[in-house]
């Protein structure tokens, strides 16, 4: 059938009818055969033998789904050694021998270096390992001199190297930028101008680099944005779609898709997802976020090393359907995202949040508060997903209720324990630990917990009363 924007949007929820970033009402496969399909990965971080097993699984999934190409947005090698990069090339050849997929169809490599690839040896290995053997250093390390990354790339992947490259796949243009020793992607604007004849303004073109273009996907605070040079260059192309990693932010955070002057997409990580969300009691500190809170946390930071994520992108003219997948569990991370390129109307985070419905606790959900050893522990069940909006974190508030006054004593945020994982039913219960010392005025206190989605929309609270002076 002829595929049009009307056909595409007709398969989406009614609330998304104007064209959008939002969940699909049904799988992308229901829209028919796309013009182009490609896999997207980043932050593979291959180090030890066996690390490539998940990469092979991802490649096999893309092959079996008929991908025409695969993007890897950098950090292929963890400690910047050639043998780590070679594991990727070997995995590719195992799944796509001679760059061929099922039925002998050609599958294009669309890979770029990240900072770990060319610089990882400087902090991941340490000078001592090669101190007495400079020849071994030259044999084993990708970035042992400024010219080495280009030479290593050509030897390992058997294709020409250029700091910026352009490739054509089934009538669509892909542009890539490698991370070089001094690279902040400042040359992108000139490169795009030099190849202006290749870029059809009537259809999307795709760009990949390792760091997020400054000020785009996820938000200003997140680890891993560049200096803004790529944002400046891509802002001249409303049909541009950038794929970038570096931050390891999970694909359960719907701020992974940013649409302004162009479209920018966070690709997450095939190695581990981050908990670098500042000001969360069970998150890790993030020096790209707010730095003023140096309190000692009472909760252990969440670790999501078992979550390895990637995406499969189906292109229907100017429309994208993005499937998000966890390659550990083999499960979908949620409904496919529908993305119109260029964006239709205001697709800012605020506009998209206004269309959503917050997650909610079940009617019988109960908050339990316990005191032991100077600590308060709050336990509560997982909130439920509403209209594809799942719980991302919880807001915990302690309010003194004495003499007819409601006095907020303390308020904290905690990430949902499974915020980065495929949804399960029921979800993982949550908890928050506070010190009694953090509640300055003791007495009859109402504790409340509200579920929030990734945009900060708040559902209704569950509450429990507890006497902190007892």
The CA distances from residue 27 to 6, 15, 58, 394, in Å, are 17, 17, 19, 30
Give yes or no for a contact between 332 and 422, defined as CB atoms under 8 angstroms apart. Answer: yes
The CATH 2.60.40.4070 portion of the chain extends over 368-467
Burial class (CB in 10 A: 0-12, 13-18, 19+), 38: buried
Sign of CA dihedral 371, 377, 381, 386: positive
The CA distances from residue 261 to 48, 193, 255, 334, 423, in Å, are 41, 17, 16, 27, 32
Neighbour tally for 324: CB within 10 Å: 23
Lookup result for tokens 């259809």: 203
Vertex 145, ends 192 and 86: CA angle to 5°?
Answer: 80
What letters, b where the CB count within 10 A reaches 16 and e where it falls short, cover 177-211?
bbbbeebbbebbbebbeeeeeebeeebbbbbbbbb
Q: What is the pTM of this model?
A: 0.94
Three-class SS of 415-444:
ECCCCCCCCCCCCCCEEEEEEHHHCCCCCE
Terminal alpha carbon distance of the chain: 71
* 3-class DSSP assignment, residue 198: helix
Per-10-residue mean pLDDT of the chain, 470 residues long, equals 43 39 66 94 96 97 98 97 98 98 97 95 79 88 94 98 97 96 81 97 97 93 89 97 96 97 98 91 82 85 88 97 95 95 94 96 98 96 96 98 94 96 91 94 97 97 95
Q: How far apart are CA 1 and CA 11, in angstroms?
A: 14
The CA distances from residue 155 to 41, 86, 113, 158, in Å, are 22, 9, 14, 6
Q: Is the CATH code 3.20.20.70 the one for domain 368-467?
A: no
- Looking at CATH, the fold of the domain delimited by 5-273+308-354 is given as Purple Acid Phosphatase; chain A, domain 2 (3.60.21)
Which two three-digit tokens encode residue 147?
């010219």
The CATH 3.60.21.10 portion of the chain extends over 5-273+308-354
Q: What is the CA radius of gyration of the chain?
A: 24
Which pLDDT score is estimated for 4? 44
Which pLDDT score is estimated for 220? 83
Which pLDDT score is estimated for 17? 34
């Amino acid at each position: 059938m002829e595929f049009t924007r009307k056909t595409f949007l007709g398969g989406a929820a009614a609330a998304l009818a104007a064209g959008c970033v939002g969940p699909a009402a049904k799988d992308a496969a229901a829209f028919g055969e796309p013009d182009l399909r490609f896999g997207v990965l980043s932050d593979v971080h291959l180090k030890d033998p066996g690390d490539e097993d998940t990469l092979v699984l991802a490649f096999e999934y893309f092959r079996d789904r008929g991908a025409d190409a695969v993007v890897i947005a950098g950090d292929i090698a963890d400690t910047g050694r050639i043998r780590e990069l070679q594991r990727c090339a070997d995995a590719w050849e195992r799944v796509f021998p001679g760059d061929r997929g099922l039925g002998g169809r050609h599958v294009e490599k669309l890979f770029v270096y990240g900072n770990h690839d060319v610089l990882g040896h400087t902090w991941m290995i340490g000078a001592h390992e090669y101190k007495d053997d400079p020849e071994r250093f030259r044999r084993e390390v990708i970035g042992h001199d400024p010219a080495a990354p280009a030479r290593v790339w050509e030897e390992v992947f058997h294709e020409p190297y250029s700091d910026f490259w352009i490739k054509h796949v089934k009538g669509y243009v892909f542009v890539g930028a490698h991370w070089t020793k001094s690279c902040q992607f400042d040359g992108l604007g000139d490169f795009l101008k030099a190849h202006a004849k290749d870029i059809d303004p009537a259809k999307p073109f795709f760009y990949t680099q390792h760091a997020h273009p400054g000020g785009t996907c996820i938000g200003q605070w997140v680890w891993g944005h560049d200096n803004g040079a790529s944002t400046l260059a891509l802002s001249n192309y409303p049909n541009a779609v950038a794929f970038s990693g570096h931050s390891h932010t999970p694909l359960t955070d719907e701020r992974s898709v940013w649409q302004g002057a162009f479209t920018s997409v966070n690709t997450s990580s095939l190695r581990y997802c981050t908990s670098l969300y500042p000001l969360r009691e069970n998150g890790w500190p993030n020096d790209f976020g707010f730095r003023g809170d140096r309190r000692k946390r009472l909760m252990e930071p969440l670790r999501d090393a078992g979550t390895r994520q990637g995406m499969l992108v189906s292109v229907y003219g100017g429309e994208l359907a993005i499937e998000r997948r966890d390659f550990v569990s083999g499960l979908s991370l949620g409904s496919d995202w529908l993305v119109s390129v260029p964006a239709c109307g205001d697709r800012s985070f605020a506009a998209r949040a206004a269309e959503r419905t917050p997650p909610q606790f079940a009617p019988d959900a109960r908050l339990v508060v316990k005191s032991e050893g100077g600590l308060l522990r709050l336990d509560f069940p997982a909130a439920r997903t509403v209209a594809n909006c799942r719980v991302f974190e919880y807001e915990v508030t302690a309010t003194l209720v004495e003499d007819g006054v409601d006095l907020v004593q303390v308020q904290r945020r905690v990430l949902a324990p499974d915020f980065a994982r495929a949804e399960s039913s029921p979800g993982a219960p949550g908890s928050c630990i506070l010190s009694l010392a953090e509640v300055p005025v003791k007495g009859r206190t109402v504790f409340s917990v509200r579920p929030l989605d990734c945009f900060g929309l708040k559902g209704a609270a569950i509450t429990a009363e507890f006497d902190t002076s007892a």
